């Protein structure tokens, strides 16, 4: 199955194999750079290694994890590219999760003013979200994705087979973006997901395809996030703040776990200050709690969370911006909420745990 992104590149949803590499070989690159982290080298490289053939190859392995999505790691990547004799007519293959996709794409998109790259996302989050939409970058001064660029890959190869080695907690985390995509744009998928008791039994290629398609359509309408693309921020205003707050604690949350809290609180705001019905709020709340459980958010953190939301780069003014739901499957952008309402939404969330 292949989804075209505005005729510019294709998202292939299939096992990565001879077909994709034949396509790549036809493009007659001078060589390939394969960027991965230590984990994806171990778990994912074996799935594609046999297709690499005799094309000149520069393999670059970096340490795994968000804290390495950093300029120092990029410098290492660029150095290795220079040392390997990589030129303008080479292509980078980014084999890994969102960290490798964002950073490998950034390294490629800036090397010698930009060389081609292909995304081979290996986590659920990167398959349905990070690998589509052209946003590339690294963290700087502890601010996520603060240095980067927009650039499209030559292709995205989404192979659900990679998920076989991904820890279950990472799968559940990525699944939050699937819930989000359904809630903002696909009522039908939302109602199907709600009936699923155990996500381990899901038909991943089918679920991923539908979810990627939502993201694809949104970014096609608004590639540079001036309007409707902000719909993708649903659950992320409060969710990001909660994620940052828990980052420095023992019980740190994965991205999707924080986004689940964001989706519940922002649904509450959508109901209290907007059009979302009480029944829809209850459904979203129940489903997110069923999949993610409940994590108490200390009341003492509320002012810190508000500060974090105010600093969020997406806020041009004092008011805190939100994407709300009008109903499942329909989002509305450029909404705002007061500090008092946000505090109340967090108190509502905490009350669900008792």
Ligand X SMILES: NC(=O)c1ccc[n+]([C@@H]2O[C@H](COP(=O)([O-])OP(=O)(O)OC[C@H]3O[C@@H](n4cnc5c(N)ncnc54)[C@H](O)[C@@H]3O)[C@@H](O)[C@H]2O)c1
Give me the active site residues, please: 113, 135, 177, 215, 225, 229, 233, 236, 240, 255
Residue 90, beta-bridge partner list: 31
Distance, in Å, from the CA atom of 214 to the CA atom of 232, rounded to the nearest integer, reads: 10
Neighbours of 52 (CB within 10 A): 14
Among 64, 212, 259, 280, binds ligand X (CB under 6 A): 64
Q: Check binding of 39 to ligand X (CB under 6 A).
A: yes
166 binding ligand X? (CB under 6 A): yes
Based on the shown chain and the rule CB under 6 A, indicate whether residue 171 belongs to the binding site for ligand X. Answer: no
For residues 182 and 145, the answer to whether their CB atoms sit within 8 Å is no
Min. distance of Cβ 163 from ligand X in angstroms? 6
**Nearest distance, CB of residue 145 and ligand X, angstroms:** 5
Residue 341 CB, shortest distance to ligand X, in Å, is 26
230 in the Ramachandran plot: left (φ > 0), alpha (ψ -120 to 50) or beta? alpha
- For ligand X, the binding residue among 20, 40, 323, 345 (CB under 6 A) is 40
**Token pair for 94:** 């980014």
Closest CA to 337 of 265, 284, 289, 282: 265
Angle at which helix 255-273 crosses helix 339-351, to 10 degrees, equals 120
Q: Does 99 bind ligand X (CB under 6 A)?
A: yes
Closest residue to bound ligand X by CB:
98
Q: Estimate the crossing angle of helix 255-273 against helix 168-185, to 10 degrees.
A: 30
148 vs 328, beta carbon nearer ligand X: 148
> Of 145 and 277, which CB lies nearer to ligand X in the complex structure?
145
- Under DSSP, the state recorded for 166 is S
Stretch that binds ligand X, among 163-171, 196-204, 322-330, 332-340 (CB under 6 A): 163-171
DSSP 254: P
Of 20, 73, 126, 233, the residue at the interface with ligand X (CB under 6 A) is: 126
Residues between 220 and 279 that touch ligand X (CB under 6 A):
255
Could you give the CA distance from residue 19 to residue 155 in angstroms, rounded to a whole number? 13
| Listed ranges 74-82, 165-173, 263-271, 292-300: which one lies at the site for ligand X (CB under 6 A) | 165-173
- Closest C-alpha to 134, from 163, 162, 114: 114
Q: Does 145 bind ligand X (CB under 6 A)?
A: yes
Residue 352: CB atoms within 10 Å: 14
DSSP assignment of 26-58 = HT--SEEEEEEEHHHHHHTHHHHGGG-TTS-EE
Please identify which residue in 14, 170, 272, 312 interacts with ligand X, judged by CB under 6 A.
170
Choosing from 144, 294, 327, 344, the residue that interacts with ligand X (CB under 6 A) is 144
> Contact between 66 and ligand X (CB under 6 A)?
yes
Helix, strand, coil share (%) of the chain residues, nearest 5: 55, 20, 25
Task: For residue 145, count other CB atoms closer than 10 A to its CB.
Answer: 15
* Residue from 13, 33, 35, 44 binding ligand X (CB under 6 A): 44
Find the shortest distance in angstroms from Cβ 47 to ligand X.
9
| Cα–Cα distance, 207 to 188 (Å, whole number) | 12
Which one of residues 73, 94, 119, 123 is an interface residue with ligand X (CB under 6 A)? 123
Q: Whole-angstrom Cα distance, residue 106 to residue 29?
A: 19
Report if residue 100 touches ligand X, rule: CB under 6 A: yes
Cβ proximity to ligand X: between 133 and 281 the closer is 133
Q: Which of 69, 70, 230, 335 binds ligand X (CB under 6 A)?
A: 69
Residue 148 Cβ vs ligand X, minimum distance, rounded to whole Å: 8
Given 130, 214, 259, 280, the residue binding ligand X (CB under 6 A) = 130
Residues found near ligand X in the complex (CB under 6 A): 37, 39-40, 43-44, 64-66, 69, 96-100, 102, 122-123, 125-126, 129-130, 133, 135, 144-145, 162, 165-166, 170, 255
């Amino acid at each position: 199955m292949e989804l075209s992104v505005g005729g510019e590149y294709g998202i292939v949803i299939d096992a990565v194999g001879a077909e994709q590499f034949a396509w790549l070989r036809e493009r007659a690159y001078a060589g390939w750079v394969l960027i991965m982290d230590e984990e994806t080298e171990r778990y994912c490289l074996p799935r594609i290694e046999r297709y690499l053939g005799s094309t000149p190859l520069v393999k670059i392995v970096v340490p795994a994890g968000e804290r390495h999505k950093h300029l120092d790691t990029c410098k290492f990547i660029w150095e290795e590219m220079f040392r390997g004799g990589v030129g303008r007519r080479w292509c980078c293959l980014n084999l890994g999760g969102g960290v490798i996709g964002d950073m490998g794409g950034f390294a490629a998109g800036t090397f010698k003013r930009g060389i081609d790259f292909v995304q081979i996302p290996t986590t659920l989050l990167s398959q349905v979200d990070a690998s589509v939409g052209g946003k590339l970058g690294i963290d700087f001064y502890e601010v996520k994705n603060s240095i980067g660029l927009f650039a499209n890959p030559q292709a995205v190869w989404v192979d659900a087979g990679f998920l076989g080695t991904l820890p279950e907690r990472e799968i559940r985390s990525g699944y939050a973006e699937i819930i989000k995509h359904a809630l903002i744009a696909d009522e039908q998928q939302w109602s199907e997901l709600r009936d699923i008791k155990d996500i381990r039994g899901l038909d991943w290629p089918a679920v991923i395809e539908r979810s990627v398609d939502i993201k694809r359509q949104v970014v096609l309408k608004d590639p540079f996030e001036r309007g409707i693309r902000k719909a993708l921020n649903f659950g992320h205003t409060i969710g990001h703040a909660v994620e940052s707050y828990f980052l420095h604690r023992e019980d740190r949350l994965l991205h999707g776990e924080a986004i689940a809290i964001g989706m519940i609180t922002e649904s509450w705001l959508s109901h209290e200050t907007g059009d979302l019905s009480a029944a829809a709020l209850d459904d979203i709340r129940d489903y997110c709690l069923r999949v993610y459980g409940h994590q108490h958010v200390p009341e003492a953190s509320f002012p810190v969370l508000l500060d974090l939301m105010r600093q969020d780069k997406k806020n041009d003014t004092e008011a805190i911006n939100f994407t709300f739901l009008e109903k499942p499957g329909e989002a509305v952008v450029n909404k705002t909420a007061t500090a008092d309402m946000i505090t109340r939404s967090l108190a509502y969330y905490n009350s669900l745990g008792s």
